[in-house]
Structure 1
Amino acid sequence: MTPTTFPRLLFEHAAARPDAPAMREKAYGIWQTLSWRELAALVEALAAGFAAAGLQRGQHLAVVGENRPRLYASMLAAQCLGAIPVPLYQDAAGAEWVFPLQNAEVAFAVVEDQEQIDKLLELREACPRLSHLWYDDARGLRHYAQPGLASIDALIAAGRAFAAAQPGFVKARVDAGRPDDVAAMFFTSGTTGQPKGVVHSHHTLIDRARAGAAFDRLTEREEVLAYMPPAWVGQNIFSYAQWLACGYVVNCPESPETVQICLKEIGPSYYFAPPRVFEALLTSVTIRMEDAGRAKRALFAHFMQLARRVGPRRMDGQAIGLVDRLHYALGNLCIYAPLRNTLGFNRVRVAYTAGEAIGPDLFSFYRSIGINLKQLYGSTETAVFVCLQPDHEVRADTVGVPIDGVEIRVAEGGEIHVRSPGLLKGYYKNEAATAEVLGADGWYRTGDAGFLDASGHLKIIDRAKDVGRLKGGALFAPKYVENKLKFFPHIKEAVAFGDGRDAVCAFVNIDFEAVGNWAEKRNLPYGGYAELAGKAEVRELMRECVERVNADLARDPMLAACQIRRFLVLHKELDADDGELTRTRKVKRSTIGERYAVLVDALYDGRSSQFIETTVSFEDGRQGVVSADLKIVEAKVFDAAAMKEAA
């Protein structure tokens, strides 16, 4: 296809399908529809308003908030002028924005509401260039009189006046845009230091959006629910780049709390979620079934046993006997279809997960009930789409095959290198970091360790920099071990240690909802997270999970030494506000190791318990202290040779 830009795609849709729905937003319980014609008019007014305010080609516009049509329109309006939108995480503390705002020299920002305005106003001393701030939701801002602060409504009005005085101005700027112009900048999560601004052009983003759309035969008839942070490149690809490439409908929920309701109402045909979302949905189903009557539980267990045996084969297009087909059809009528409807997945044609490994049992559950859940592989730097799983070639232990335009090679040491039309232009103002990952020959060093199997599917083991060695020389892959622990519904997070040490030890975070329900069924009283996590019965539950992981690891000759010898259940949830996770919920392993060094030492010193006090941050900015005497648990390890012989 001809290279183009996002604004051109918008105006093409508006010309070809003016009355077709482009976006929907749920407000006050009612879905409001914005057609392509209305969206184009809104974007044109916003672009003229930005121009009147002084936004110029090459400058950056910060965009902060939940998924809102006028925030998406603001990104398009900036791109009309050749300016560059920089989406930031709306749930981040204001201090986390200082580096991106300073690094990108941001003078203009469009945000959702009072919460974001308050954070930006507090940063004006540290970021003196912040001169123009616009907000979408005016609630709570009525008496704000700070200089440069105005509503999006005022911006639109100013834009219409500007456009009336200079007709054709915005169109001329759109026509001047080129595919190789910078389209957006996404800041990485910064797991090991300051975040880096990943610079992408219109061409890189649109090329990968189109490649992904062609792979799964996406059309303008798709329905998508936009509920993940717009600052995350995955949400941006699915609800922005592919939206404009295909012309389908993007639906914005009223709030994060109503996502599940909106999911059922919209019934998306194209869906994406990280594994933790699918885990949470399955946990809710499990809890509901535990509360159901005996007859319903028995019926559910019977048909789920059938689904696990027949469902994946059915999804993979394999032959199924007549009796199994009829039996599955009955199960679909009684269990699977109502369950898909409850989850909001009744119309899903393609569903993807990525970002972390997904448990085989979890993966199999969704496919067994008729949901076409697949995995993909990519990153911010690759514009997401590198590998996708073709229909009928879906496996839990791989991330698919390279799609159109992508080349993959495995370098010495097992690091995956990628060459693709979707690669970043570079890291903003960071030539050294760019040179580290992007070679002169066009190969991008992903930092992931893995290999291509005999069928051409890519299998990821861990981050290359995280793969280490135990003291005896055995391979240590912490993320691989952590993911195996997180496959259990009762475990929310895990952190494994072992590089350069005699054995592997771990921290475990319980899933408060799942373990709370488990405890209530056993009449175990508790007053909060710390009390529940400290119960002996919960430690025993965690020990069973750890030992099942050890048994699984023992069957793998390469990773048998990674069995967990000792572990503890943390007294608090790992939290991005405390700097322990990134905003995309990736574990900051080195930060956690330093913050809880006394606990790491206790694990390796042979202690049976360790007292600790930890400072925590609350949502309103206050800080408090959580203390506990944590018990350390010994876990059984298995003889690799015996396990192999038994298998």
Structure 2
Amino acid sequence: MATTFPRLLQQHASQRPGDPALREKEYGIWQTWSWQRAEQEVRHMAAGLASLGFAPEQNLAIVGDNRPYLYMMFLAVQAMRGVPVPMYQDAVAAEMAFVLEDAEVHFVFAEDQEQVDKMLELRETVRGLTYIIYDDPRGLRNYQQPGLMSVQDLMALGQQHEQQQPGAVTHSMAQVQPDDVAVILYTSGTTGRPKGVCQTHASFLGAAQGGVQTDGLTGRDNILSYLPPAWVGDFLFSMAQWLVAGFTINCPESAETVGIDMREIGPTYYFAPPRVFEGMLTSVSIRMEDAARAKQWMHHKFMAVAQRVGADILDGKPVPLGERLMYGLGNVLVYGPLKNAMGLSRIRVAYTAGAAIGPDLFKFFRSIGVNLKQLYGQTETCAYVCIQKNGHVKLNSVGQAAPGIELKIADNGEVLVKGVSVLKEYYKRPDATAEVMDAEGYFHTGDAGVLDHDGHLRIIDRAKDVGKMAGGAMFAPNYIENKLKFFPQIKEAVCFGHEKAQVCAFINIDFEAVGNWAERQGLPYAGYVDLAGKPEVLTMMKECVEKVNADLAAEEGMEDTQIARFLVLHKELDPDDDELTRTRKVRRNFIAEKYGVLIEALYNGSAEQFIETAVKFEDGRTGKVSANLRILDTKVYPAVRSAA
């Protein structure tokens, strides 16, 4: 197998030139790029960059939604021995400015007018930003700024350059080495400024090869590429595994049409973070609440069968004939239509990663026949540390060490990793690299975990977030929060308890799910703040919390971390307000500081607390949201000891 991204592209173009490599839906019609066309256009893009003065080891920033030319730009940059640096397309200007300055970027690929406008604004303050290349020309006809050009103009330049210097791009592709940096991915920055993670061709292709072999992926598979291209998971699946397996990547028309496009394409291989699967389940729950009583009865009847035997049937375990027949009937009447509605009918393998997934949510999808598995990793490990193999899926673990990976648990419980996928370094940060890499070559993940007797890894929480209750019990906030977020009515949760006598929580309602419920109850509301404070909604949230407490009471070591008090926040936690990262991970310390008055009220016995909070709106304006929040006490259950 070829050992770099550009050489793999050349290999596919040579061996299967007419097979589909990429598709894009535009104006309702799917457009296809063959491997031969993709390789030719990558070559023209690379030559165009060379004609503009792009040099080896130079960085080029990429920002936009999932588009064929965006993925081809990754390859064009690599073909010139440069390094692509993807940025989150919804990031604010200040976040982008940091990446552009830190990576010393002179060239940017921007998808459309929205991203071009950001880059033109940033060019006034970011030194050296010279060329802005765009994909979608809509709205840009009258833009005449220097250094601004379309990708079509870039390819035309490249064709001229190739005529003048034939073979230059081919020679450059041949010079790319496996140990060259293939991409710089900036971390989400949960604890400070993002760091640029330098990953080589060898590390990402090694990770991709392990996944492809484990799941038997081939050129006949299809995936939908819809996750942020700046996220390590998308680079693993939509770039590295795409080129190793040679399957087809499909780019949706827009974020709003992903569900429709899923059903049209019928992907055989699917990847999504837990929040996407949570959203699917919430959508199913809302539809069932609106369904006729007969349909509701049938849904509950057959979902009970699925919960009993669905996962065992998927894993090929023995199941009584009667239950198999009932499950088969359920597949015709309930599970099949459900999977079709979610675009999962043809799925052979589905993965989730990026955050812990609740066991109940995990079991739901496996019970209806979706081969959902967990992948564990970080940006620093190409999202590749543990992988769950078919027939060896445990709901409470993230699987065994992936091919080419060694695992070790440190004395403090931290997960240590060595192997093919570990980062080369942090960009211009030898100090930060030294902090996470030890003398034996192990990467310190920052996650706390345990290995069971089968070598399956169970992630408890972030090592820095695991604390101790005042009584000595281990406090793992993320573990509790994921249990809360299984309920479709709860979108986000933040738990507190380190060095405290009891656990307390903030909860965000899911506005769509709770709003739908309120409308069916004939409960009027004026907006998010009003709905979140309704007594009926608070009662619903209390019931959810108490169900989680009952679960925790039955888990050894978790019984003392039941939630004693909670409140429902008056606003959604938002990346634009710095409360979440762009990948929607909680910025725990920031939230604790910002909402200190609410935490104090939770622990001093107050029944309610007034708060006023500054917020940023999508159009850039700022404002304030205020509310008088009620604080509720919940039932805490005695520990349930399992029989010996």
Q: TM-score range by the shorter chain?
A: over 0.9
Cα deviation digits, residues 606-636 of structure 1 (max 9, x gap): 2111111111111111112111111111112
Deviates more, 1:167-176 or 1:331-340: 331-340
C-alpha change, 1:3 and 1:31, in structure 2 (3 Å) is closer
Hey, what's the Cα distance between the residues in 2 that align with 1:323 and 1:607?
55
Q: Which residue number corresponds to residue 218 of structure 1?
A: 217
Deviation of the 1:503 alpha carbon: 2.0
Deviates more, 1:340-349 or 1:302-311: 302-311
Q: Which residue number corresponds to residue 293 of structure 1?
A: 292
Hey, what's the Cα distance between the residues in 1 that align with 2:529 and 2:440?
52
Report if the CA contact (8 A) 2:47-2:158 is conserved: yes
Deviation of the 1:176 alpha carbon: 0.9
Deviates more, 1:531-540 or 1:302-311: 302-311
**Consecutive unaligned residues in structure 2, runs of 5 or more:** none
Hey, what's the Cα distance between the residues in 2 that align with 1:418 and 1:645?
34
Q: Which residue number corresponds to residue 261 of structure 1?
A: 260
Report if the CA contact (8 A) 2:490-2:507 is conserved: yes
The count of aligned residue pairs is 644
Letter in 2 for 1:218: L
SS of match in other structure, 1:33: strand
Cα deviation digits, residues 281-340 of structure 1 (max 9, x gap): 111111111111122222222221111112111011111222222222222222222221
SS of match in other structure, 1:397: coil
Hey, what's the Cα distance between the residues in 1 that align with 2:474 and 2:369?
38
Hey, what's the Cα distance between the residues in 2 that align with 1:84 and 1:646?
58
SS of match in other structure, 1:644: coil
Q: Which residue number corresponds to residue 524 of structure 2?
A: 525
Report if the CA contact (8 A) 2:2-2:8 is conserved: no
Is 1:644–2:641 an aligned residue pair? yes
Hey, what's the Cα distance between the residues in 1 that align with 2:556 and 2:344?
39
Deviation of the 1:646 alpha carbon: 9.6
Q: Which residue number corresponds to residue 353 of structure 1?
A: 352
Deviation of the 1:147 alpha carbon: 1.8
Q: Which residue number corresponds to residue 499 of structure 2?
A: 500
Deviates more, 1:426-435 or 1:316-325: 316-325
Hey, what's the Cα distance between the residues in 1 that align with 2:527 and 2:565?
25
1:193-204 correspondence to structure 2 within 5 Å = 193-204=192-203
SS of match in other structure, 2:488: coil
Deviation of the 1:3 alpha carbon: 5.8
Q: Which residue number corresponds to residue 582 of structure 1?
A: 581
Q: Which residue number corresponds to residue 371 of structure 2?
A: 372
Report if the CA contact (8 A) 2:339-2:345 is conserved: yes
TM-score (norm 1): 0.98
Is 1:32–2:28 an aligned residue pair? no
Hey, what's the Cα distance between the residues in 2 that align with 1:380 and 1:57?
24
Q: Which residue number corresponds to residue 565 of structure 2?
A: 566
Q: Which residue number corresponds to residue 324 of structure 1?
A: 323
Letter in 1 for 2:293: R
SS of match in other structure, 2:557: coil
SS of match in other structure, 1:271: strand
Letter in 2 for 1:487: F
Deviation of the 1:135 alpha carbon: 0.7
Hey, what's the Cα distance between the residues in 1 that align with 2:395 and 2:527?
35
Is 1:79–2:78 an aligned residue pair? yes
Percent of pairs with identical residues: 58
Q: Name the Cα RMSD after superposition.
A: 1.3
Hey, what's the Cα distance between the residues in 1 that align with 2:497 and 2:339?
41
Is 1:159–2:158 an aligned residue pair? yes
Q: Which residue number corresponds to residue 549 of structure 1?
A: 548
Cα deviation digits, residues 404-450 of structure 1 (max 9, x gap): 11111111011110111111001111111111111231111111101
C-alpha change, 1:127 and 1:497, in structure 2 (3 Å) is same
Deviation of the 1:198 alpha carbon: 0.3
**Consecutive unaligned residues in structure 1, runs of 5 or more:** none
Q: Which residue number corresponds to residue 619 of structure 1?
A: 618
TM-score (norm 2): 0.98
Deviation of the 1:126 alpha carbon: 2.8
Hey, what's the Cα distance between the residues in 1 that align with 2:106 and 2:68?
22
Deviation of the 1:502 alpha carbon: 2.6
SS of match in other structure, 1:123: helix
Report if the CA contact (8 A) 1:358-1:396 is conserved: no
Deviation of the 1:645 alpha carbon: 7.2
1:42-57 correspondence to structure 2 within 5 Å = 42-57=41-56
Report if the CA contact (8 A) 2:285-2:488 is conserved: no
Deviation of the 1:562 alpha carbon: 1.5
1:114-129 correspondence to structure 2 within 5 Å = 114-129=113-128
Report if the CA contact (8 A) 2:2-2:11 is conserved: no
Letter in 2 for 1:483: N
Q: Which residue number corresponds to residue 399 of structure 1?
A: 398
Report if the CA contact (8 A) 2:238-2:249 is conserved: yes
Deviation of the 1:568 alpha carbon: 0.6
